[in-house]
Amino acid sequence: MVTTTALEAELLELAGSVPDPELPVLTLRELGVVRAVRVGGPDRVEVDLTPTYTGCPAIEAMTLDIERILHGHGIREVTVRKVLAPAWSTDDITPEGRRKLREFGIAPPRASHASGPVSLALGPIRTRNAQARDPETEPVRCPHCGSADTELLSRFSSTACKALRRCLACREPFDHFKEL
């Protein structure tokens, strides 16, 4: 078991306070991508950062922002390591992060109750909630009115992490942070 010092916990909190460059309503801690901070000597710190997916274009901006905030708190040498295992999952988003996504108008990812690979079903682009086909699948709820009566318009939206959906009750389009 790895023990964390008080200084490492403080630095982890600082690194985690950085806003996500693509979703600035969330911090990196709320997104669940800052995994660990290790103090390697006087004024030397190593931060483990797991991207949301391997080709995430925001990883460079996250790294620079983490370095900037830790340099600003007196740490001279900051190394941010990209750690791919264990892989990031949308289950890593904190409850606070999910609440903030909803308030920002983005449907948060549904909670995964299984471990292992996420199944990917290819089919029609415009689909209604999976609830009608699979009663055990939680529907994607509209972040504006809360209705579960929504449809998928496009598997991709403003970023690769989000899909574009529309509420059939209030007719508002919205982003849905896809489950991984």
Q: CATH for 6-82, among 3.30.2290.10, 3.30.300.130, 3.40.309.10, 1.10.3720.10?
A: 3.30.300.130
Instruction: Give per-residue pLDDT as tens, 104-147.
Output: 999 999 877 555 555 555 555 555 665 444 434 688 999 999 99
pLDDT value at position 172? 95
**Domain residue spans in the chain?**
6-82, 95-177
Per DSSP, the three-state class of 101 is: helix
Contacts of 112 (CB under 8 A, 6+ apart): 89, 90, 91, 118, 179
pLDDT value at position 114? 57
pLDDT value at position 131? 47
Q: What is the DSSP string of 144-169?
A: TT--S-EEEEES--SSTTEEEEEETT
